[in-house]
Amino acid sequence: MFDVLVYLYENYWRPDACPDHEQLSKKLSAVGFESEEIADALTWLDGLASVAESYVANQHDLSVRVYLPNEQDHLGVASISFLSFLESAGVLPPSMREIVVDRAMAFDGAPVPLEDLKIIVLMVFWSLGEEPDALILDELFVDAEDRLIH
């Protein structure tokens, strides 16, 4: 599913630039994605669109997040730490954080691998039509082992 999401991010500037689900499914299938993977990604994106609408309208940027035990188990320490890092850096406001948490909780695997969480964060920015700054894109795309320290 995450490969499909990355493909969409790389090939469509915004969600509204994507064709309807039927056409998009055909295009993704022609590129080589499996039908189950495509269906999972499109379902996940529908959930993202729905959640983004409600959270952006109803959240305050002064909220504090306490993770429930089931969220802690599902997200894992690495993912929660990364979300805290993004928040403290002023990159991920609470309303967007809640969208990320919701979409991560919709993911079947537990704990959510950090690399998958980074894709979720990227897709939340994408769904809202926002481009993260270059340093955050670097953080989302480049593995720590591949970074050059100057």
Is the predicted pLDDT of residue 44 greater than 60, yes or no?
Answer: yes
Kindly report, residue by residue over 46-83, the tens digit of the pLDDT: 888 888 777 655 555 667 788 999 999 999 999 999 99
- pLDDT reported for residue 135: 66
Strands (E), the chain: none
- pLDDT reported for residue 72: 94
Average pLDDT, the chain: 82
- Scan for tokens 């954080």, then name that residue: 97
- pLDDT reported for residue 148: 42
Distance CA 92, CA 62 (A): 12
Distance CA 144, CA 54 (A): 34
Q: What is the mean pLDDT of residues 112-136?
A: 84
- Name the token pair of 60: 């305050």
Alpha carbon distances (Å) from 105 to 14, 75, 147: 23, 7, 29
In the three-class reduction of DSSP (H, G, I as helix; E, B as strand; rest coil), residue 41 is classed as helix
Query: Where are the domains positioned within the chain?
Result: 2-146
C-beta of residue 137 within 8 angstroms of C-beta of residue 9? no
Q: What is the mean pLDDT of residues 75-101?
A: 90
H or E, element range at 5: helix 2-11
- Poorest-pLDDT segment among 42-51, 58-67, 80-89, 94-103: 58-67
